[in-house]
Amino acid sequence: MSTHAAPLPRYELHCHLDGSVRPSTVADLARRQGVELDRPVDDLVIAPAHCRTLTAYLAYIDTPLQVLQTPEALTRAARELVEDWLDDGVVYGEVRFAPQLHHRRGMTLDDAVRAVAEGLAQGRAATGVGTGLLLCCLRHQTPDESLAVAETAVRHRGLVAGLDLAGDETLYPARSHKAAFELAHAAGLPCTVHAGEAAGPESMWEAIDVLGAHRIGHGVRCTADTALRDRLRTDGIALEMCPTSNVQTGAVPSLHAHPAAPLLAEGVPVTISTDCRTTSATTLQHEFDALRRTARWTATEESRTQSTAAQAAFTRDGASSERAR
């Protein structure tokens, strides 16, 4: 009888579709669509280890976004992501995207949502991996644009599991998008908000108290605010931490300085995700390997984060997928 423990079932809660398209797929879609790539595809879609700013990191998503402007491309990218989750030991994954960024060839918000949902459905059928779809409002866009995204999410409640707010916290406050999140809450749609990545604890307080976030995307800058950490623990607000990405964007200076380990030790709900699998050239296996090297994590810490992620998931598909495996 083998003495090796079975791999832990994994749950990924923070994964951007446009940052997780396979480089080979980007190249193939570009060829099919007549999009000229002026450099090798890897140079265009994989960010360096230290971008220093979120803006510099996001520039590596421009090329994938350029080729994700048809329903067929979105469906393929979503399906392949589910396949990649299977290879990474993921039994349930949530993917997020901003449908309002996919209109260049005439797609509507509804078209884009249906296309991604179809890809996820194909992936689920082929792999048994559970999936959830989140729609992103963007901080730099108008309240009306965010409201349109929220309305789309509610209109497709059977396909969409939650609402997100992404973008530059330092330039654009969250409160201007309050109406969109109030609509989501009224419809029973759970919400997450990118906060505490580029800005400090005040951004996280705004996400929680103004937008009613059930989870926080990243949240690495909560360490200096004791009251905030207490609130996260008391209310069970899970942090969607992405160590490799957090270093690349300059949110933390190094993996050794990443706050996931001390926060977990304090009892703060911590989950681990990839953020952008292609942009960061990472997997959950890579993230946990890095935490084992730098924070001396063991299967115990990984199990705690996976249990937290399973409980914080916006749908219950993960449980049925785990049973299927």
Q: How far apart are CA 166 and CA 101, in angstroms?
A: 13
User: Each residue of 32-49: pLDDT tens digit?
Assistant: 999 999 999 999 999 999
Question: CA 127 to CA 122: how far, in whole Å?
Answer: 9
Specify the pLDDT at position 11. 97
Active-site residue among 12, 197, 206, 287? 197
In the prediction, which pLDDT does 304 show? Answer: 96
* Full set of structural domains in the chain with CATH: 11-324 (3.20.20.140)
- pLDDT of 2 reads 35
Q: Is 0.85 topped by the overall pTM?
A: yes
Task: List % helix, strand, coil for the chain (3-state, nearest 5).
Answer: 50, 15, 35
Q: What is the pLDDT of residues 173-230, one digit of tens each?
A: 999 999 999 999 999 999 999 999 988 999 999 999 999 999 999 999 999 999 999 9
In 3D, which of 12, 89, 101 has the Cα closest to residue 58?
Answer: 101
Residue 119 CB contacts under 8 Å (≥ 6 apart), including other chains: 74, 75, 76, 77, 78, 79, 80, 81, 82
Task: Specify the pLDDT at position 324.
Answer: 31
Buried/exposed 203-231: b ≥16 CB within 10 Å, e otherwise: bbbbbbebbebbbbbbbbbbbebeebbeb
pLDDT, position 112 = 98
| pLDDT means over runs of 10, the chain (325 residues) | 59 98 98 96 96 91 98 98 98 98 97 98 98 98 98 97 95 96 98 95 97 98 96 98 96 95 97 98 97 94 96 71 32
User: Is 197 annotated as catalytic?
Assistant: yes
